[in-house]
Structure 1
Amino acid sequence: MKNSKPNNEIIIYEGRGGEPRISVRVEDDTVWLTQVQLAELFGTTKANISIHIKNIFNEGELAKR
C-alpha cells in the first residue's frame, strides 16, 4: 500500500500575536530550518546557532553528509 502522505510540505507557525512567523520545510518526516530560522525560534543569534551546530558535528552526535 502506498503512503498517501506528501513527501514535502511547508508548515507555518505563528505566535499568539501573529509573530514570530516561521515557515519550515518538512521532507520525509524531517523538519528543515535555516540557521536564521533556528535563531528566531530559540530567541538567539545565528552565530550562537552556528556554534551549537559545530559542536554537534565535533562531538559526533551527527555526521556530515
Structure 2
Amino acid sequence: MQQLKEVETVTTELREALARAGVVLPSLRPDPVSIAHRYMPPLVELGRCSMEVARQLADALAERSRGERA
C-alpha cells in the first residue's frame, strides 16, 4: 500500500513539474500492471505523446540543462 501511495505521489509531482515547463503528457499515470505485481516495484507510465509534445519535453530538458551549466 505504501508503494501505491508513493507512485501516485511521484506521478503527481512529475505531472506538476512538466506543467511548469509547459509540457503535458496526457497518458501519464501509475502503471496498473506493475502495481498489481507482487514482486515488481510500481512504475510510472509516461505513455504516448505527439511529436509536438515530445519536442516541448526535449526543449524543456535542454533549457534546464543550459541553466545548470550557466
Select the structure of larger CA radius of gyration: 1
Q: TM-score, normalised by structure 1?
A: 0.34
Higher RCO structure, 1 or 2 (CA under 8 Å, sep 6+): 2
More strand by share: 1
Give the helix-richer structure, 1 or 2.
Answer: 2
Give TM-score, length-normalised by structure 2. 0.32
